[in-house]
Amino acid sequence: VQRLVVKIGTSSLIHANGKINLQAIDQLSYTLTGLVNEGKQVILVSSGAIGVGMGQLGLAKRPREIQAQQALASIGQSELMTVYQQRFAVYGQKISQILLTHDVLDFPESRKHVHHTMEQLLEWGVIPVVNENDTVAVDELDHRTKFGDNDQLSAIVATRSNADLLVMLSDIDGFYTKNPHKFADAKLIDVLHEITESSLRQAGGAGTELGTGGMVTKLKAAQSILANNKMMVLANGANPSIIFKIMNNEPLGTLFV
Ligand code: ADP
């Protein structure tokens, strides 16, 4: 693997009490910097802006109104980037911010510019930190067209940037035969070569208050990764240094290939 995209979900970045999980961000910064120092090119797709905004304002529940969510994203995004900037700087790693919307990637002209910018950043050894631009993406927060808490965005970024691997970090060890939070007999699926209707049924809905994507959007992401002959690993982001093990081909999480 020469170029990889790492997607980290809200549940891995924010504690149940709403505070930013600084330890996770620190470990993520350390790990991704290590990979860049080994000569790899790394793109980070990070969720969490709305969750961080909620923490800043002390809100326990995600508000329903779009404008409130967008305002929270605006608050949270800059706070989140500040934290990333600080933690990556400790390890001497430069990062940048790329905020994307669906239409940016739909139009060939803007898509081309994003592509060239990304290539330039990677060539310079910078880690682009990508997120959906929730503040302007009016209908993106709506479930009809939403990327799904960045799951599908990360797949689009991975395929468009021709990355060899998408590492998706969540609050769960991988994809199970059914939701393990509800069923004690759920079994971890080690490898999946195809996303079928029955896999999508096994996925159920989002499991947490903060996470919006759930397993379905992760499987949809895996679907487009497989369609492009790329690989994806879904693993637990509690300790982001798990990425080192994934890069060492240790069998963990669910490998989609
Ligand atoms: P993130 O914030 O990391 O994107 P989500 O909460 O959106 O995470 O999605 C992960 C959750 O999906 C799990 O914690 C679990 O509750 C739920 N889930 C539903 N079905 C499954 C399944 N078959 N295997 C694993 N997790 C599942």
Q: Which two tokens stand for residue 18?
A: 């709403």
Nearest C-alpha to atom 17 of ligand 1 is from which residue?
207
Q: What are the CA-CA distances from residue 181 to residues 73, 178, 188, 205, 217 (Å)?
A: 28, 9, 12, 11, 18
* For the chain, percent of residues with pLDDT exceeding 70: 92
Ligand 1 centre distance from Cα of residue 101 (Å): 24
**Where does the pLDDT of residue 134 fall: very low under 50, low under 70, confident under 90, or very high at 90 and above?**
confident
Alpha carbons 28 and 46: distance in angstroms, whole number: 11
Alpha carbons 24 and 13: distance in angstroms, whole number: 6
Residues 200-257: pLDDT tens digits? Answer: 888 875 444 444 457 988 999 999 999 999 999 999 999 999 999 999 999 999 999 9
Ligand 1 centre distance from Cα of residue 207 (Å): 5
Identify the H or E element spanning 41: strand 41-46
Q: Taking Cα atoms as reference points, which of 153, 211, 155, 146 lies closest to residue 181?
A: 211
Q: Where are the alpha helices (DSSP H) in the chain?
A: 10-13, 22-37, 49-57, 66-90, 102-106, 108-123, 151-160, 197-203, 214-227, 242-247
Count other C-beta atoms under 10 Å from residue 57's C-beta. Answer: 13
DSSP conformational letter for 150: T
Backbone angles phi, psi at 169, to 5 degrees: -100, 130
**Structure ipTM:** 0.97
User: Does position 128 have pLDDT exceeding 60, yes or no?
Assistant: yes
In short, whether 254's Cβ falls inside 6 Å of ligand 1 is no
Q: Which of 215, 236, 256 to mutate to test the pocket of ligand 1 (most atoms within 8 A of CB)?
A: 215
pTM above 0.90, yes or no: yes
